[in-house]
Amino acid sequence: MGKKLTKLTQHSTKVQYLKGRYEEVNKIFVYKLLDIKYKETKKGIDIIGPTFVAELKGSLKGIKKNKYEGYSCTETQYQNYPSVRPELPIFWLFCYYELEKQLKDIRKNAPLNSLEEKVINRKITVVEWDIVKELKIGNPGYPSRFVSHKLLDILIYNTYKFDGGILRLQNKPEIINAFAKYVNNKNIYKETSVH
């Protein structure tokens, strides 16, 4: 029993570690996709561009929290991050990604470019900051609000394609205007429909 529990703990620790590394992989990918100069941030807001800032949240396909796939947005982030660059609009940037292998089958110390090569699909969704305002705060010890894919899928988006996925911008003027210069770069192609 002890060996089995140790192996489970090691597996869980490896998976959590790799999920953290994939947050960095996704962040680097977003900077490249939008053709924004990369800024390494260990704590605080993830994406800092000339026309907006965004907090990036990742969700690996197949990993569920409370029976749903989605994203945890902490109350600290929601309350404090708008003051990081108050002159710029702030958004949530949700990255739903799929890997060619399960996390347990990926080398823990693989270089970031090797981890990137294992991503086979991404759906990046940009929504207004206050989308979490009406959501219930869970877990009093670590207050956060959960944004499910189900909630995101009922919103209306302008959708764009890029190699390996889609970019969905919530159909809000502030978002469309902030991203106008980025969606016309060489990496992103406009889809004809709005959904």
Whole-number percent of the chain with pLDDT over 70: 87
Q: Find the Cα–Cα–Cα–Cα dihedral 178, 93, 144, 48, rounded to 10°.
A: -60
Q: What is the mean pLDDT of residues 90-115?
A: 92
- Which sequence spans correspond to the domains of the chain? 2-194
Whole-number percent of the chain with pLDDT over 90: 58
Instruction: For residue 25, give the H/E element and its range.
Output: helix 2-34
At 10, the pLDDT band (50, 70, 90 cuts) reads low
Q: pLDDT for 114-172, tens place per residue? A: 999 999 999 999 999 999 988 878 766 678 888 988 899 999 999 999 999 999 999 99
Residue 73, both tokens: 């947005």
Tell me 102's DSSP state. -
What is the pLDDT at residue 79?
A: 93
Lowest mean pLDDT among 71-80, 95-104, 182-191: 182-191
| 187: pLDDT strictly greater than 60 | yes
